[in-house]
Structure formats: C-alpha cells, structure tokens
Amino acid sequence: MATKIKPYRTEVATRIPSAGNMDIGELAMNIQDGKFFTKTTSGLIKELGGAGSVSLQDVTSNNAITDQNITMNGSHFIFEGNLENAFETILQVEEPTSDNVLKLPNSSGTIGTQDDALAYSVVFGS
C-alpha cells in the first residue's frame, strides 16, 4: 500500500503559512493559488517554483530590493505609526477607469490633502 503524503495546506486564497507553523524544510501548499512553500534554515517562508514573480512580502521579509513592478489587486498600503494602536493611515486606490501615473516630487516635505485648506488652496487655487 502506498503512503499518502499530505503537506501542511490551505484552500484560502493568498494565505501564506507562518514560520511558527512550519519546521525547516517542511512543505506547505495553497491549493487555491497553486503555490508551494517551505521554511528555510534562516526561518523565512519561501515560495517554491512559480513564475519567478516578486511579491511585496518577498521584498519586506527578506530585506531585499526589487527593480520589478509589484501589482496589488484590491490591496491597500496600511501604515502603522510607532505605536501599535487603533489608528492607521491607509493608502488606497479608487477603481481606475484608465491608466494613471502619480508622481511624488523629488523633494522632502509634507504632502497636503483636500482636508488641509491652506495646502489645497496653494495647489488648486481655491
């Protein structure tokens, strides 16, 4: 009789195993996404195989730098301050109806918003 091998697994889309749930070299799979993962000797979770894409988690988890675009479908950047509390700043995108490019200025300073009346009047003249 053949032995069945059942790696650590989930069917929840985009879920990645945590390092605390795995042993070094153990395999895990996300059935929904068709991805395999393992835990490295340095304690990091690494995706195996795939198309060689770079994810934001790869960059932040490994202190790496990428020169490739990172596409986030329906996700937001959530910024927590120095204190973990109930307040965050969320950077989100409205559903685009065309290709748009936003450029950050090549200078230091604070970006004004619509709720900042002085900054808004300087930028938009109203």
Q: What is the pLDDT of residues 77-123, one digit of tens each?
A: 888 888 888 888 888 888 889 999 988 889 888 777 767 777 667 66
Instruction: From 41, 43, 75, select the one nearest 61 (Cα to Cα).
Output: 43
User: Considering the domain boundaries, does residue 54 fall inside one?
Assistant: yes
User: Considering the domain boundaries, does residue 51 fall inside one?
Assistant: yes
User: Mapping DSSP to helix (H, G, I), strand (E, B) and coil, where does residue 19 land?
Assistant: helix
CB atoms inside a 10 Å sphere around CB 39: 22
Whole-number pLDDT of residue 125: 67
Q: Which amino acid is at 107?
A: S
For residue 53, the enclosing domain spans 8-124
User: Considering the domain boundaries, does residue 23 fall inside one?
Assistant: yes
User: Considering the domain boundaries, does residue 56 fall inside one?
Assistant: yes
Phi-psi map region of 51: left, alpha, beta (phi>0 left; psi -120 to 50 alpha): alpha
Query: In total, how many domains does the chain have?
Result: 1
Q: Rounded to two decimals, what is the model's pTM?
A: 0.42
Judged against a pLDDT cut of 80, whether residue 126 lies above it is answered with: no
User: Considering the domain boundaries, does residue 2 fall inside one?
Assistant: no
User: Considering the domain boundaries, does residue 58 fall inside one?
Assistant: yes
